[in-house]
Amino acid sequence: MSTQDGATIAVAVLVPAVTAAAGVVSLLIQDRGVRRSRDGRRRLVFEDATRQVAFAAEWWKAKQLTAATPQALQGPTAVANGWLDEASARVAAAEQPNLGEDPHVSVSRLLLLYRFRRWSAKAIRIGFYAVLGLMSFTVLSIVFDKPTRENTPSWVAILVLSGIVALLLRFWAVSADSTATR
The full set of domain ranges for the chain reads 3-181
CA distances from 57 to 16, 48, 61, 77 (A): 62, 14, 6, 11
Is residue 141 a contact partner of residue 60, using CB atoms and an 8 Å limit?
Answer: no
Q: Quick one: pLDDT at residue 180?
A: 55
Is residue 49 a contact partner of residue 90, using CB atoms and an 8 Å limit?
Answer: yes
Tens of pLDDT along the chain (182 residues)? Answer: 677 777 777 777 787 788 778 877 877 787 777 778 878 888 888 899 899 999 989 988 888 888 778 788 888 888 889 989 998 888 888 877 665 554 566 777 777 888 889 999 999 999 999 999 998 888 887 777 765 666 667 778 888 899 889 989 988 998 888 875 55
CA distances from 55 to 42, 49, 82, 105 (A): 20, 10, 13, 44
Q: Quick one: pLDDT at residue 147?
A: 55
Q: Quick one: pLDDT at residue 39?
A: 80
Q: Quick one: pLDDT at residue 112?
A: 83
Q: Quick one: pLDDT at residue 124?
A: 94
